Structure 1
Amino acid sequence: MSTVWARCEGAFIGHAIASQYDPSIFMALNVAESLIQFKEYNGPDILARHLYLYHTKRCEVGEITKYIYQAASTSISSRSPTSRETFRFNPTIINGFVQSAHDKTGGYTASCGPAQRSYPLAFCANITDDNLVDVAMQEARLTHQSPIAGQVAVIVNSICRSLLRNHNWQAAVNSAFTQARLHDDVKNILMRHGRWPNPLVETHPAYAPTILNSVLHYVSASRSAAEALELAKYAKNKHYCLPIVGILAGARWGVPEDMYRSHMDNLDLTAMRTAANKLIDLWPVSRTDVSV
């Protein structure tokens, strides 16, 4: 049985080292830091953080989020000083940006970005088990209109929350797939991931069900976080797959210090560990070997 601390920090550290500190790290931090500040889910604040991140750093936040940034930028007065608050919009306006991005991609918004960034929701004590599914779908819809992207994010979050409750891996995975009205491409992963890492038909490499299938295959087939990350290095979609392998492997086993000792001075890793520990402190029992 692992501790809340080991699972939560493990997910953050696993994400960091598996992704090699790619921009999905900053987006996950946006979610975590918003949860820490408001002690609840605040969609407009999270999206403002994502858009301001791109505005200031021009890092790779994904084509869909870039389209939303472009739509948002047209509604901002160029005469006003730009800050994070500049990108805070009400939900109705956000929905319009998301629809615009969906249209520009020809309706192809079923990618894995939300699954890479939204897992801090699972480690926030102020989001109840009963509300986690709805909140994870809402976070996904800040950028991705396709419900498939949201459903895959829900499954990642649900597995993390079940592991936090000290359910075993298979029980956590099985429970995550009991969500209502899953798309067939998502439902089929439950029986398929144990046999092979990729679907039999070609899909876009970032298609969320394809990525989830690979992730669950590598984590299920492993006995430690290190083994899962090593196996996933050979995935044909590893750029998209590895961050989520790191998240779930870290949540399943924790990440031993020898896996990240050489990264201790990395400021991004420090930020991830700090955010994880602040989320942990929201739990009434946070550092003991008990289910919570």
Structure 2
Amino acid sequence: MMNALTRCEGAYIGHAIASQYDPSIYMSLNVSDSLLACQKFDGPDILSRHLYLYHTQRYEIGETTKYIYQEALVRIGTRTSPTRENFLFKQSCIDEMVQIAHKKCDGLTAGCGPAHRSYPLAFCHFISDDDLYEYSTLEAQLTHYSPLAGQVAGIVNVICRSLLKNKSWDDAVNLAFSAPRLHKDVQQIYGRHHRWSNPAVETHAAYAPTVLNNALHHVAASKNASQAMAKADGKEKFYSLPIVGVLAGAYWGIPAELFKDNIDDSKLKRLRDAAAKLSSFWKEDNGHAQA
């Protein structure tokens, strides 16, 4: 049995290796920082961190979130130097900005960004198993209007939570796909990912169900994290590879030899600190993590 720290740390480090420490790592750390600071799920606080990250660092956070940032600046006004608190909006205002971004994206907001960034929810002890999927969709809705983005993020996070509790891979996947009212493009992944890495129809490479299909296929077809990430290192790697890293890290853990030459010490410390803080609230009971 693997302990909570190993699985949580594995998800963070697997994500970092797979994404080559791209901006989605900083967004996932925003989620965990907010959870730890607020001691609850606080959507406006999480979004303020995402928007302020872009405002100060100009990291590539995705076109959908950039549109929301532009709308946020309109609402903030002409302040010369906005603070993070200036990006803290009421949920009703966030919903309006998300709808505007959805229109600017021509209705194409079923992307995989939320699935890259929201997995710390799975390791947060005060989010119950029953509430995890819903909070995952709420986090996705901070930027992505399409429900598919939230459904895919929810499935990734439910799998991580089941692995945290030392469920088998198959049991974790089965439970995740029992979520209610899944879109048919998401439902079809369940029976297909064992056989094909991609759907039979052509979709945008960032379309969340396509990305999830690819990520689940490579993890299910591998024997360890290194193999899973190597299999996924193809043309779709920028979209599916970070999720492969998260799931593979939570499933197998990440051995030191896999990351010691891939992440510098300062970045590794931040990931480990976040994982240690989240996992410290879990205790082991007969091999299963308990809040």
**What residue number does 2:213 align with?**
213
Shift of 1:287: 10
Go from structure 1 to structure 2 and tell me whether the alpha carbon gap of 1:270 and 1:70 turns closer, same or farther (over 3 Å shift). same
AA aligned opposite 2:9 = E
Structure 2 unaligned spans of 5+: none
Instruction: Tell me, in whole angstroms, the C-alpha distance in 2 between the residues paired with 1:289 and 1:151.
Output: 29
Is the 2:17–2:263 Cα contact (8 Å) retained in structure 1? no
Shift of 1:172: 0.2
Instruction: Tell me, in whole angstroms, the C-alpha distance in 2 between the residues paired with 1:71 and 1:148.
Output: 23
**Pairing 1:246–2:262 present:** no
AA aligned opposite 2:65 = T
**Cα deviation code 1:1-21 (max 9, x no counterpart):** 211111100000000011000
**Cα deviation code 1:16-63 (max 9, x no counterpart):** 011000000000000011011111111001000000000011110000
AA aligned opposite 2:28 = A
**What residue number does 2:92 align with?**
92
User: Aligned runs of 1:22-33 on 2, under 5 Å?
Assistant: 22-33=22-33
**What residue number does 1:50 align with?**
50
State the Cα RMSD in Å.
Answer: 1.4
Instruction: Tell me, in whole angstroms, the C-alpha distance in 1 between the residues paired with 2:171 and 2:55.
Output: 41
Shift of 1:268: 2.4
Instruction: Tell me, in whole angstroms, the C-alpha distance in 2 between the residues paired with 1:51 and 1:184.
Output: 32
AA aligned opposite 1:199 = P
Structure 1 unaligned spans of 5+: none
**What residue number does 2:83 align with?**
83
77-86 or 204-213, which deviates more: 77-86
**What residue number does 1:67 align with?**
67
Shift of 1:80: 5.8
AA aligned opposite 1:270 = K
TM-score of the two chains, using structure 2 as the length reference: 0.97
**What residue number does 2:189 align with?**
189
**Pairing 1:103–2:112 present:** no
Shift of 1:150: 0.4
**What residue number does 1:164 align with?**
164
SS in 2 for 1:69: helix
Instruction: Tell me, in whole angstroms, the C-alpha distance in 2 between the residues paired with 1:78 and 1:268.
Output: 34
- Name the % identity: 56
Is the 2:166–2:287 Cα contact (8 Å) retained in structure 1? no
SS in 2 for 1:247: helix
Shift of 1:266: 3.8
Is the 1:159–1:172 Cα contact (8 Å) retained in structure 2? yes
